Chain A
């Protein structure tokens, strides 16, 4: 079975600081990778996803993530965060074969951006 690790549980940044959130996965086969975000009081929504091609993917609101296969990692980055980026961020995976559409989430990272 697949598993996902997010090592940063709580991150506090000042506005305009750069962001990098770590995500590592464990699975014996190929996976698709996702970052979801949950803003306060709102539902989970997709930031970006990777399933093939260029390992650097761009998502909404200036976020990007890089898939490094050798490191089983899919870290999320943003060059300059805003107060409105305060949210919980979840990395997630689905197996390409044999897992249906079973989305497995990491434990999440709570990001707080201070003015």
Chain B
């Protein structure tokens, strides 16, 4: 099983809402990632968790708050977002060995902020 699942597939929220994106993998991977992908652009790394600890935060605004409750789950909590935050949010996972790891991507959550 090389699947990363993400819920929900689509999310529409207002600027005052609080919502969460969820990501799950059952491959025994120990590294998990959040990326943001705007239309016609490449994915951009937001956060990396390695062995359930935040190891990389790419200077993401605090209105995005990641959480890794256990090695299989990764959440992204959203609060007071702006319309420019509308994008496809991708989750990925990898074994967590080293930089040669293959990252396995989920299908993404398409977020629209009104």
With contact pairs A43-B107, A44-B90, A108-B42 given, residues A102 and B48 touching in the complex (Cβ less than 8 Å): yes
Q: Is the interface of A mostly helix, strand, loop or mixed?
A: loop
CA distance A90 to B56 in the complex (A): 22
With contact pairs A43-B107, A43-B108, A102-B56 given, residues A90 and B102 touching in the complex (Cβ less than 8 Å): no
Q: Are A100 and B42 closer than 8 Å at their CB atoms? A: no
Does B105 sit within 8 A of A, measured CB to CB? yes
Interface range on chain A (Cβ under 8 Å from partner): 20 to 34
CA distance A108 to B38 in the complex (A): 13
Does A49 sit within 8 A of B, measured CB to CB? yes
A94: chain B residues within 8 A (beta carbon): 99-100
A44: chain B residues within 8 A (beta carbon): 43, 90, 92, 105
CA distance A1 to B50 in the complex (A): 21
Does A105 sit within 8 A of B, measured CB to CB? yes
Q: Are A105 and B42 closer than 8 Å at their CB atoms? A: yes
Does B27 sit within 8 A of A, measured CB to CB? no
With contact pairs A101-B31, A102-B45, A103-B45 given, residues A95 and B99 touching in the complex (Cβ less than 8 Å): yes
Residue of A nearest to B100 (CB): A51
B100: chain A residues within 8 A (beta carbon): 32, 49, 51, 94
Can you show 28 pairs from A to B with CB atoms below 8 A apart?
A32-B99, A34-B102, A36-B105, A43-B90, A43-B108, A44-B90, A46-B103, A51-B99, A94-B99, A94-B100, A99-B99, A100-B48, A100-B55, A101-B31, A101-B33, A101-B48, A101-B94, A101-B96, A101-B99, A101-B101, A103-B103, A104-B45, A105-B42, A105-B43, A106-B42, A107-B41, A107-B42, A108-B42
